[in-house]
Amino acid sequence: MPEEVWVFDVEGTLTTGETWQGVGRWLEQNGRRAAYRRFFLAHLPGAMLAKGGLINKRRYQNKWMQDLAGLFAGASAAEVGAMAAWVVEQELWPQRREDVLAELRGGLARGVRVVLASGTYQPVLEAFARRLGPEVEALGTPFVCVDGVCPQNPAGEVNVAAVKARRVREHLGGRAPDRAYGDTASDLPLLELAREAVAVYPDRVLARRARERGWRVLGGAG
């Protein structure tokens, strides 16, 4: 009998922290304040348009994450690792959702295979996974350094929405997860892939879909 597999989204699901916020703070505190400020001001108009619904919000969020990674052009793999550990310790872990983590830990105690699937950068996701145990797997947005140095833009395709669902299925060798946890409508492709879906502190769209499908809801509606 195949092992049971649970897949967890991270931002909004296991933590209310946000990678981009943590990365920005790290850059400001590590000699790249001016570069980050230029990045932020250049991208702020698009963020306001996305917030107002005038351009596609998800598409712009993806662009923000990919462009933000470009600030690490020429950085060493060791520097990226230090950034990832800092973002987890200072942003993601302090804002963790203990009720959701309790379910994750309960699964681990039962021998469930746990996979974290997130749009956050792979090194950050791996650092978060290490806080939960060596057996926890991480499937994030690729962030590649070549021969120990980051290229012009090290980030690959952002691991969200349909991309996340596809990569999870590939990661699991074509099988569907037994259970999946997510917090927004962007997680619907993953949740619909799983045999059992759990809506975690869901946004309005996901809360409505959870009611329609009879999915379990953990936490209040957003």
Q: What does each of the 222 residues of the chain score in pLDDT, given as a tens digit?
A: 568 999 999 999 999 999 999 999 999 999 999 999 999 999 998 888 878 888 788 888 888 899 999 999 999 999 999 999 999 999 999 999 999 999 999 999 999 999 999 999 999 999 999 999 999 999 999 998 899 999 988 999 999 999 999 999 999 999 999 999 999 999 999 999 999 999 999 999 999 999 999 999 999 744
- Residue pointed to by tokens 């005038």: 54
CB within 8 Å of 113: residues ≥ 6 apart? 3, 4, 5, 6, 135, 137
pLDDT of residue 76: 94
pLDDT of residue 1: 54
pLDDT of residue 34: 94
Q: Are 9 and 77 in contact (CB under 8 A)?
A: no
H/E/C letters for each residue in 1-15?
CCCCEEEECCECCCE
pLDDT of residue 89: 98
pTM for the model: 0.94
> Residue 195 and residue 168: Cα distance in Å, rounded?
14
CB within 8 Å of 59: residues ≥ 6 apart? none
Backbone phi, psi, residue 190, to 5°? -70, -45
What number of residues does the chain have? Answer: 222
pLDDT of residue 222: 42
- 3-state DSSP assignment of residue 80: helix
